[in-house]
Amino acid sequence: MNLAVRDIRHNLARFALTAVGVAMLLMVVMGMGGIYRGLIEDATLLVDKIGVDLWVVQQGTRGPFAEISRVPMNLEDRLRVVPGVRSARAFVSHTIQREHQGLPLRMVVQGLSWPDDKGEWLPLVAGRPLRSAHYEMIADTLLGLELGDKLNLGRDTYTVVGLTSGMLGQGGDGLAFFTVRDALAIQFDLSSESIRLERAARKSRAIRQDIGKTQPFLIERAQSASASLPAIPRLMVSAVLVQLEPGTDPEKVISTISAWGDVSVHTADQQRELLLKGTVDKARRQIGLFRGLLVIISAIIMSLILYTLTLDKVHDIAMLKLMGARSSLIIGLILQQALLLGIIGYSLAYYLGQWIFPGFPRRVIIVHEDLVSLGVIVLIISVLSSLLGIWKAMRVQPNEVLS
């Protein structure tokens, strides 16, 4: 006769409420694990999806994911002629926040190296890759844009021609893909007044300097567009991504590029590692610690619940002992209830999570390994938390029936 099941059946409402409480707690533990996974996945998604071999960044920096990196766009051309390099393309990435239809719209602007990269590698769920060097964009569905939507960014209007799914930046914002030129135009967009002021300042500086006084023609040139002035540097990109020829020894290429002195080279794995150990490391450690705390709290709460359930049965346990019941029967009663509470709580947590997590603003990724490990943890917690109740039950004396 299974006493645990009969006791639960008798106090079904109480047990169900307790199980729901435990489930909510376990769902939070599960969710924290999912947020942890989501953080890692979001952080490394771009590096993984782009799938290049080398990241060439500003000398002495760790690349755009760790700090500001600026390299000239013509670095692409220099890299293309290095033996073993199959392709090189500029990488531009920055986050902007604008208003769209009265709501804030935050996105990671990602540059595609047109015309080599039109975004064919992107996981499109609708629309098409870029077909024009300007004014087209591919947006992630998270941004809430539709195909054909027009978006004013800076001085230009961009049309959404493609939609991706699950393409997020490390901050959890959706990615939007433009040509590198457009991405830079968005990044360095200045108002007409700013341009006029800058030109006036340039003229003023030229007038004050000796070269301006001796060569008045320069003062007039200083007021013209930046693009026509060779002394003003061209726009910079964050990095240049290199794809190697099959069979090429990466070390050899790295050695060649590293010798240039104005850039540093990192492999894709190093960039990934950099992301995990750098940008998201503290966040993931914090979540990991918080998750650990939640597991401990769950164990304590389950212990108290089972202890209370045992206290409610002290008289019955005393009667069982009086009747000569073996300790195994009484231990089984408490242990089975603990395991049932854990298993039902865990199952409920899983189904509640499947229902609730998709509504979270950031991705909550529940992977099989995490489910298995949490399942094992729940079983261990169930057994450990029943120990307090078992300890109490073992101390009950049969003569307590008389009290």
Partner 1 sequence: MTESAPAVEAKGLTKIYGSGNTEVIAMRDVSFELRSGEVVALIGPSGAGKSTLLTAIGLINPPTSGAILIDGRVVMEGPVASVDVRAYRRRYIGYVFQKANLIPFLTALENVQLALEINDVPARKARSRATDLLEYLGVADRLKNLPHMLSGGQQQRVAVARALANNPRLLLADEPTAALDSIRGRQVMELFQKVGHDKGAGVLVVTHDQRSLDVFDRTLEMEDGVLFTRPRVDP
Euclidean distance between CA atoms 28 and 295, whole angstroms:
10
- The nearest distance, CB 396 to partner 1, in angstroms, is 12
> How do strand 236-237 and strand 136-140 relate by DSSP bridges?
unpaired
Tokens 């007021």 belong to 223
Euclidean distance between CA atoms 381 and 254, whole angstroms:
50
- The nearest distance, CB 14 to partner 1, in angstroms, is 12
Residue 146 CB contacts under 8 Å (≥ 6 apart), including other chains: 160, 163
Question: Is 7 an interacting residue with respect to partner 1 (CB under 8 A)?
Answer: yes
Question: Is 402 an interacting residue with respect to partner 1 (CB under 8 A)?
Answer: yes
Of 24, 229, 283, 319, the one binding partner 1 by CB under 8 A: 319
If you ran DSSP here, which 8-state letter would residue 197 be given? H
What would the x/- binding string for partner 1 be over residues 268 to 307, using CB under 8 A? ----------------------------------------
Of 224, 255, 354, 399, the one binding partner 1 by CB under 8 A: 399
Of 325, 352, 379, 387, the one binding partner 1 by CB under 8 A: 325
Question: Is 205 an interacting residue with respect to partner 1 (CB under 8 A)?
Answer: no
Q: What angle do CA 166, 170, 175 make, to 5 degrees?
A: 45
Give φ, ψ of 227 to 5 degrees: -65, -25
Question: Is 14 an interacting residue with respect to partner 1 (CB under 8 A)?
Answer: no
Of 321, 335, 386, 390, the one binding partner 1 by CB under 8 A: 321
Cα 59 → chain centroid: 27
Measured from the CB atom, is 9 or 86 closer to partner 1? 9
Q: 138, 165 in Cβ contact below 8 A?
A: no
Residue 77 CB contacts under 8 Å (≥ 6 apart), including other chains: 88
Q: Quick one: which H or E segment has residue 290?
A: helix 281-312
* Stretch touching partner 1 by CB under 8 A, among 103-111, 185-193, 200-208, 315-323: 315-323
- The nearest distance, CB 102 to partner 1, in angstroms, is 60
Nearest to 346 by CA among 30, 13, 18: 30
Strand partners, 266: 55
- The nearest distance, CB 313 to partner 1, in angstroms, is 9
Of 96, 126, 322, 343, the one binding partner 1 by CB under 8 A: 322
Give φ, ψ of 174 to 5 degrees: -70, 150
Of 258, 326, 372, 376, the one binding partner 1 by CB under 8 A: 326
Measured from the CB atom, is 266 or 313 closer to partner 1? 313
Nearest to 240 by CA among 138, 402, 116, 346: 116
CA distances from 316 to 326, 333, 354 (A): 14, 11, 40
Of 229, 329, 366, 379, the one binding partner 1 by CB under 8 A: 329
- The nearest distance, CB 347 to partner 1, in angstroms, is 23
Count of residues that interact with partner 1, criterion CB under 8 A: 22
- The nearest distance, CB 318 to partner 1, in angstroms, is 9
Of 230, 247, 324, 361, the one binding partner 1 by CB under 8 A: 324
Of 155, 234, 315, 395, the one binding partner 1 by CB under 8 A: 315
Question: Is 401 an interacting residue with respect to partner 1 (CB under 8 A)?
Answer: yes
Question: Is 229 an interacting residue with respect to partner 1 (CB under 8 A)?
Answer: no
Q: Quick one: which H or E segment has residue 158?
A: strand 156-164
The burial class, CB within 10 Å (0-12 / 13-18 / 19+), for 49 is middle
Question: Is 1 an interacting residue with respect to partner 1 (CB under 8 A)?
Answer: yes
Positions in the binding site for partner 1 (CB under 8 A): 1, 3, 6-7, 9-11, 315-316, 319-326, 329, 398-399, 401-402
